[in-house]
Copies of this chain bind each other. A is one copy, B any other.
Amino acid sequence: MIDKKKQITVAIDGLGGDRGIGTVIGAMRFALALYPNLRLLVFGNNELLEGIEKQKIDSSRYVFYKNSLMVPQDASVKDVMSVYLNSSMAQAIQSVMNKEADAVVSNGGTGPLVCLARHFLKQNTPYHPALAARMPTGPNSCSLMLDLGANAETQEKDLLGFAKLGAIAYQAQFNATNPTVALLNVGTEQGKGSKVIQRARELIVEDKTINFTGFIEANSIFRGNVDVIVSDGFTGNIALKAAEGVASLFANASGIRKFFARMARPDWLLPWQFNGSILLGVNGIVIKSHASAGNEALAVAMVEAARYSQSSIIEDLNKAFN
């Protein structure tokens, strides 16, 4: 839980998402109302500033930095590193580097975010950074799954790294010891899967710091059998989106079915409650929100940033690897 006395400063990239400035403003209101100790640094354009002022958000709760350079969702690494080093996303990340903010939230593209976070904050482990998010598994429980798309190519050494990063993050956020770790695969039997998966299993089994329970299938992601689920970034991203696709078949039912769908959904399965994945493996807290996140969902990502800011995640990673 967040210590509501200690002030937390979260930087917001105000230009990243698909839904425009209204969502950023709505999310700010939600997050500030929920957490009286939260302070925001907002990087965005004039339009956003005018919107915030019009909505009469308490000006002692935020600092606004004018920046109208938006990074396109699919900007290439080359473009990011030449054209967008002064973008709203870049400056928001830099505020973490300069210790002006405790964490940064962006709903911009994954590629640019990973690229800029590595550039400004630097890696703090020998492994590729990975995106990790909570997967709901029950009324008061969740698993942590990674990588959800920070890496397009993944080798066995990366999967070993994700297992270590995930276990440390789970411990830091949930105050747990020795979390269980499983590897996402097409079957649970030892011989299943690709060569990379087979070799990753061997590396993880050899590493005695990891409490490895074996393979897990994708239909068990939401069952809570394990604390940390490790996947390559390509498969993890697709598994999560396939799950969201089915959930939305129910959520987007129309007419009377919409009512039934709401009644049927387990209380704990509110998709927007689980927005916000953390980029593990860079020296600072970086939270990626869905580009399509609405007000509540983006606010949840801000809260996720505040939560991680009050955890020992960065110290723990630095201690483990440096």
Contact = CB atoms under 8 A, between A and B. Distances in A.
Contacts of A153: 194-195
B264 A245 contact: no
A153 B196 CA distance: 9
Contact of A245 (B149, B223, B260): B223
Interface stretch (A57-65, A86-94, A181-189, A200-208): A181-189
A217 B194 contact: no
Contact of A263 (B244, B246, B260): B260
Which of A194, A240, A243, A248 is packed against the most chain B CB atoms within 10 Å?
Answer: A243
A1 interface: no
A219 interface: yes
Given A249-B269, A266-B253, A218 B241 contact: yes
Count of this chain's copies in the oligomeric assembly: 2
A121 interface: no
A194 B243 contact: no
A199 to B, nearest CB: 12
A11 B162 CA distance: 45
A239 interface: yes
A237 interface: yes
Contacts of A178: none
A19 interface: no
A225 to B, nearest CB: 11
Contacts of A149: 186
B245 A245 contact: no
Contacts of A210: none
A46 interface: no
A74 interface: yes
A176 interface: no
A241 B261 contact: no
Which of A231, A243, A246, A269 is packed against the most chain B CB atoms within 10 Å?
Answer: A246
A150 to B, nearest CB: 11
Contact of A186 (B184, B217, B238): B238
Contacts of A217: 238, 241
Contacts of A260: 260-261, 263-264
Contact of A246 (B193, B195, B246): B246
A294 to B, nearest CB: 16
Interface string A151-178: 0110000000000000000000000000
A235 interface: yes
A238 B241 contact: no
Interface string A240-272: 111111111110010011001101111001000
A18 B248 CA distance: 31
A141 interface: no
A218 B248 CA distance: 12
7 contacts: A74-B189, A217-B241, A218-B238, A218-B241, A219-B245, A223-B245, A246-B247
